[in-house]
Structure 1
Amino acid sequence: MSEMNQEEFIRFLIRAKQETYAAQGDDGTRQPLVPGSKQLEYGEGPWLYRDIYFGFSHFSGQEVVYDRECPIWSMTYSGGTAPDIKDSRRIREVYAFLRAALRKLQPDRPFRGPCLFREGAFRYEDESVGGVDQFHGRERITEEGRVIYSLTYQGGWIR
């Protein structure tokens, strides 16, 4: 992919991520291709972004970007809230903060949220290695110093 196309791809990826889970959460789910999953999609021109995941308090999933129906980029992820957080209202509160962080994607690392984001008692941190071509990372949310959510991810161009 040329440098100009990569820049266009990153802009698309950011829009797709901001318009799907970061904006809508599970409410944006459409009829899933895989039984038992949740599925979010965003399309623009020749590109389609599809995020399929399983679970709620702990979840696993995969994001794939297609160029004219050919998969070109993917990211897998797994994580969730701390095991002792069982109340669904509390889990939703943590995920609402997570979505706020995910809306702040940066072009130099368009995988998850910013390196650091704070709001109220919550603190979001993300560390990643690599670029859009090949990367891995970890994000977590703390509240008053206690880890209440964590997730690992990895991905890159499909070759």
Structure 2
Amino acid sequence: MDISELTRVIVAAKWATYVGDGRKAEPSRVGSHDLTWQDDDWSYRDSYFGGTDFLGQEAVWFRGDPVWAVN
């Protein structure tokens, strides 16, 4: 995995979703708010609960395989 490419994808995905008021997706879990992004072989999902005070998870997939996540 090329770390600089992964970093580029994470930054682009964050700008396009949470920071950029991105495309909302169907909730992946009961009560969650989900945002998604895709670019060629890459996909990203931000799934969180709450509003001002929140908790959640971000994940990145490359060609359908999970390669990075943070809670």
After TM superposition, is the score higher than 0.5? yes
Contact 2:23 2:37 in 1 (8 A): no
Partner of 2:10: 13
- Residue matched to 2:38: 43
1:31-82 Cα offsets, whole Å, 9 max, x none, are 1121210000111111111100001131100000011221110111xxxxxx
Gapped regions of structure 2 (runs ≥ 5): none
1:28 to 23, 32, 56: 23
Q: Which residue of 1 aligns with 2:70?
A: 75
For this pair of structures, how many residues does the alignment match? 71
Letter in 2 for 1:65: V
Mapping for residues 79-158 of structure 1, pairs under 5 Å: none
> Structure 1 length as normaliser, TM-score?
0.42
Greater Rg, structure 1 or structure 2?
1
Name the one with the larger helix percent: 1
Cα deviation for residue 28 of structure 1 reads: 3.3
Q: 1:59 aligns with which of 39, 54, 57?
A: 54
Distance 1:57 1:19 in 2: 20
C-alpha separation in 2, matches of 1:29 and 1:38: 8
Unpaired runs of 5+ in structure 1?
77-159
Q: CA RMSD, aligned part only?
A: 1.4
Q: Which runs of 4+ in 1 moved over 3 A?
A: none
User: 1:17-41, CA deviations, whole angstroms, 9 ceiling, x for partnerless residues?
Assistant: 00000010xx632211212100001
Q: Secondary structure at the match of 2:3?
A: helix
